[in-house]
Chains A and B, each alone.
Chain A
């Protein structure tokens, strides 16, 4: 045990990567640790010919991962889009780990990300004493990746100010990074590429310029496709979180989780699960992560103020809070949902009453 709170992907799954590399006989693009096929298997999981089992890192459509891997194989940059909580960073980390064996060349995009973090900075003490030199240069993760032929990762691309974003254009199209101060440049070695992630709810924050956008292939990571898939994710995550918080409550009842996930999915889709009735959607995202927090919250309430069992009353408060983000419009949405959908379901009587009480 390393005592680390969290290990990098390439460390945590080193055994799987090694096993894949051993059995992988297909053609590898230059400087790739694995063939595109093996990368796909690493992400989606599967059984190798020698019987070794690869655990799935991403549960979802095979098509999406194939497009992502094929994009990186054509040396085009990859942009992963999705609402918060759809495993964008998770996929990007594992792609980098599987392809370059290194997921640490990471830039976290913020409103304060400056050009230096993408290109290079200076060690000013050295710059002052020695003048501009290779030694005084502080390379960015992108520069390191270019030199080594690895993948660089950019988190939250749309939060970076637009003028800084555009620094990427020449790196992505000409694969060079000029250093005018030293009258030199860094030319990318084969295998270099960029994976960026962005949140498509915040599209308006710093929309990509069309020139930059054109240099990315965009892959949208969707919310979980089926009810069962999402219930499974919520259940396992909330059980794990409950353990971490040392809640004395019983593990959450599957039925209650199923109900919450159903509400989230129906409101998100603007349609009931049976596809018969249309609904309005609230302004919030209602991601899986929020469903997990509703369950968690309810569990805490049940443990400390209730009988330890997750009941409708315990989740009602969390539900209302998660759904109603805009006090006027979302409230109408929620009331309509309660009156036209929740009320109709006989086995939802308790939940309907509990939610109704919260509104009054």
Chain B
């Protein structure tokens, strides 16, 4: 006897019905839709350490990116069927077209399939049929539902008793299949898969099994009823079974979050947590859910009483009645919860969604499961870079201009990002330029566990590190948390993670009202744009973000400097200096060649001196009297003066130091203005004259008043500098070294210039 149980993958109602049906049937063989390549792993499912959600992973060891995941949750009908079979010592097997042919096929087709193949699996797609054509939509619309999923949810998944549900499903599917066969909308691959399934059923019959239970996606059910066309199947399979690949399989821990669609995982289910609730709760579905929500909200210190749960239950039921549903579904529950628990507010709903509807459960896999592909990839990378793991600490000096050493550095950076701290970076850049890195490496046995944990992120190092960085970027709440991540992503050369990272930086920068954060983020990003040459990373994107950051800083800075106390002014003073340095580093260095020069008609404002101009304009606002703390005003005046941007420095100085100004403010101004020490004064005659002329113009009484202010700053200069300044003052600035013209011999100058050019690297 053959019993076909058509299900929806991950459907709790289907799981319940399957379980009940199996108890009734007591089959002597159970066939479950799934890759026969992994038959050997089935016994693992009954082992003690195996806790769903887990995913069965099949991959090509030579090319782990070609992989297929078959996720299972506790409420997956397949999982329940296998559990039943293992508990009752009934033979159980997977039944599908073997993945060794399918993965190889993907290999061949290469570009035909989009890159996401690795994350999609043909089996776990919850929509009942192919994506191209959905006859369920028609049925659902006829029954007054928005889509086929909801209709199925309502009629199959939410049913409590099993009844004759499978007979009904089979009949419905036969009708629907006939319809789409007529339209020629059945995928060729499905036909091959079904032929393979039939072959496996026939094999079981040949073994003498009398009472076979078949658990498969509802869409395939009609194709498995008639088994007589053995010849045709053989022919079809013979044509399709080409180039078998070498497939390895294992179980990996999975999470509800990855089961849910929103994690970008192509095929999945919306609400694993809700399905778990449907699976575990026998009666009073709505009430129990409301109590769960109430308890969650209480944990978060939101005062929710049982009375709320009662009212929410009533509203959900009334809503269901208004919409003609016998039982409230998730939409009704959500709306009732929002109106009553959350007082109409949307924010707590996100919490409920994350913690309850999706859920945060993570699975576990017993240690006896085969090793994960990430482990293999790491071993391969270690071989490739000739960097053997060793338990004794070792030092490495990597010259990043050499390809092998660069690859080593990237490997170490990537592993660090994945939480496998094999190497520790010893020196920070700067002392030895951007092309040297000093590492201390030491392999620890516990990394084996870290690798399994990291394998959740991907099967090869690059992919895993990229995924992890992207996820961490999405979680980062502010810029200071994000900029180091950008830096390490660039160091690890995770090219694909850069666009999302930059988008995140851009978003946070736009929403951040915290100007200091923006200012602190700028200099490291400017530095990053300079790595381009050594590391061959594409920095155009970073450059775009830097451009935006500068624009925002220029707009926001004057307001941020208006009310600062001494400490805040000191901090702002450092930031302004750093930003100033960053902007002119950018403006004075040539544009990277890969940068589009005029992506928009605003080109004039980006790069090419545009930033310098708007920054100097911002500085002149900062330097204006009454624009804020003396320290920042003095600094701004000096920075403008250094660029010779305008001729107002003298008037700024006399305004800032006039007797009407409070003494402390004037002192701060001088401190800001002369921040670079006495040397500048000695070697820049114009600056000297500026200060000197002002001092000379003071009437005697005023000079006596202001003297302490000047003294306060001058006393911080070293004694020899003060002496030199004094000597200058004695001669009225007419020191020989500044004012006398020296007769130069062109020939001798030429010689010196050659050497200077060589030193400057312009030779």
Contacts and interface: CB of A to CB of B under 8 A. Distances in A.
A and B associate: yes
Interface of A: 36-37, 40, 63, 66-67, 69-71, 73-74, 76, 79, 81, 210, 213-214, 216-220, 270, 276-280, 328-329, 332, 335-336, 339-340, 343-344, 346
A214 B307 contact: yes
Given A278-B511, A340-B551, A344-B602, A74 B506 contact: no
A218 B343 contact: yes
29 contacts: A36-B322, A63-B331, A63-B335, A66-B319, A66-B335, A67-B319, A67-B335, A67-B336, A67-B339, A70-B318, A71-B318, A73-B322, A79-B343, A81-B344, A214-B305, A217-B339, A218-B342, A219-B339, A219-B344, A270-B511, A277-B507, A277-B510, A278-B506, A278-B507, A280-B511, A332-B555, A335-B555, A339-B555, A343-B602
B602 A70 contact: no
Contacts of A340: 510, 548, 551-552
B319 A70 contact: yes
A80 to B, nearest CB: 9
A12 B473 CA distance: 56
Given A217-B339, A278-B507, A278-B510, A76 B315 contact: yes
B344 A220 contact: yes
B559 A328 contact: yes
Contact of A332 (B344, B511, B559): B559
Contact of B322 (A66, A280, A332): A66
B481 interface: no
Contact of A73 (B318, B339, B510): B318
Interface of B: 303, 305, 307-308, 311, 314-315, 318-319, 322-323, 331, 335-336, 339-340, 342-346, 503, 506-511, 513, 548, 551-552, 555-556, 559, 600-602
A218 B339 contact: yes
Nearest to B510: A278
B312 to A, nearest CB: 9
Contacts of A71: 315, 318, 339
Q: Which of B319, B503, B556 has the most CB of A within 10 A?
A: B319
B318 A280 contact: no
B322 A37 contact: yes
Contacts of B315: 67, 70-71, 74, 76, 217
Nearest to A349: B601
Nearest to B334: A63
Contact of B340 (A217, A332, A336, A346): A217
A76 B345 CA distance: 18
B563 to A, nearest CB: 11
Contacts of A63: 331, 335
Contacts of A329: 513, 559
Given A66-B323, A278-B511, A279-B510, 4 more contacts: A73-B318, A217-B315, A220-B346, A336-B551
Contacts of B601: 346
A76 B318 CA distance: 12
Contacts of B555: 332, 335-336, 339
Contacts of B336: 67
A263 B75 CA distance: 47
A185 B307 CA distance: 26
Given A67-B335, A278-B506, A278-B507, A79 B344 contact: yes
A20 to B, nearest CB: 16
Contacts of B323: 66
Closest 3 CB pairs of A and B: A218-B344, A278-B510, A278-B507
Contacts of B344: 79, 81, 218-220
Contacts of B506: 277-278
Contacts of A67: 315, 319, 335-336, 339
A336 B510 contact: yes
Contacts of A276: 503
Nearest to A276: B503
A71 B340 CA distance: 10
A69 B315 CA distance: 10
B121 to A, nearest CB: 29
Q: Which of A279, A332, A346 has the most CB of B within 10 A?
A: A332
A74 B314 contact: yes
A230 B419 CA distance: 49
Q: Which of A36, A63, A278 has the most CB of B within 10 A?
A: A278
A111 B393 CA distance: 74
Q: Which of B318, B331, B507, B600 has the most CB of A within 10 A?
A: B318
Given A66-B322, A70-B318, A220 B345 contact: yes
Given A343-B602, A344-B600, A280 B335 contact: no
Given A217-B340, A219-B344, A40 B311 contact: no
Contacts of A73: 318, 322
A306 B624 CA distance: 38
Q: Which of B307, B311, B503, B548 has the most CB of A within 10 A?
A: B311
B187 to A, nearest CB: 33
A217 B510 contact: no
A120 to B, nearest CB: 28
Contact of A339 (B305, B340, B551): B551
A36 B315 CA distance: 13
A76 B336 CA distance: 12
Nearest to A346: B601
Contacts of A277: 506-507, 510
Nearest to B318: A70
Contacts of B322: 36-37, 40, 66, 69-70, 73
Contacts of B510: 270, 277-280, 336, 340
B270 to A, nearest CB: 17
A335 B346 CA distance: 30
Nearest to B558: A332
A328 B515 CA distance: 14
A73 B507 CA distance: 44
A329 B559 CA distance: 8
Contacts of A218: 339-340, 342-345
Q: Which of B340, B343, B548 has the most CB of A within 10 A?
A: B343
Contacts of A40: 322
Contact of B556 (A69, A76, A332): A332
Contacts of B509: 278
Q: Which of B315, B342, B506 has the most CB of A within 10 A?
A: B315
A69 B318 CA distance: 9
A214 B308 contact: yes
Contacts of A339: 551, 555
Nearest to B304: A214
B622 to A, nearest CB: 15
Nearest to A82: B344
A289 to B, nearest CB: 21
B620 to A, nearest CB: 15
A74 B340 CA distance: 13
A359 B511 CA distance: 22
Contact of A217 (B311, B503, B513, B552): B311
A217 B315 CA distance: 9
Contacts of B503: 276
Contacts of B308: 214
A280 B600 contact: no
B258 to A, nearest CB: 24
Q: Which of B344, B507, B600 has the most CB of A within 10 A?
A: B344
A328 B340 CA distance: 38
Nearest to A200: B344
Nearest to B599: A344
A66 B334 CA distance: 13
A279 B510 CA distance: 5
A344 B601 CA distance: 8
B409 to A, nearest CB: 33
